[in-house]
Chains A and B, each alone.
Chain A
């Protein structure tokens, strides 16, 4: 398995501001992903964080709104930019250790964001 930590665990922010969420893994992993879970909803994949290149975004998500960095194989950040109340969600990081293999995706504890 993988031990994943996220910072902050929760935050309350004002509209129009930005928040950067950190995801740290205890060992090197090949794949890192960012998901959003809106209140009472399921999880939706935002993007795949690629080490050394731009993230791959899913339909409906854009880099200007959700810039992602992945400087190495154990760390990634997701920024929620110019926030509005609709961005209030839980944001989860997930990792997969190996690429191209039948490996499990493990999830971090999530960051609970409230935008006022």
Chain B
């Protein structure tokens, strides 16, 4: 079962920051938080992941609370092409090839 809770949908105006929350209150010490998104009719696309510290890359920023029970994905300047389903996933890395277990995700709609 998915170990995360996300709002089912969010709206964002084009050019504004999109802040997508995720609750993972049962996360264990060595589990990472991953974010993926899926644009209609495509495969899921990796965005970012982190353990404890905040992370930033060319796509987004990931803010993880100090107690690690929740996180926020930030898209700093949302565009229409960012309209997608965003999945927050908790993953335990191990030797056997740990798969991603997807929850229901958040449908982000960016409008002009």
Is B truly associated with A?
Answer: no
Chain B: residues with CB nearer than 8 A to chain A?
none
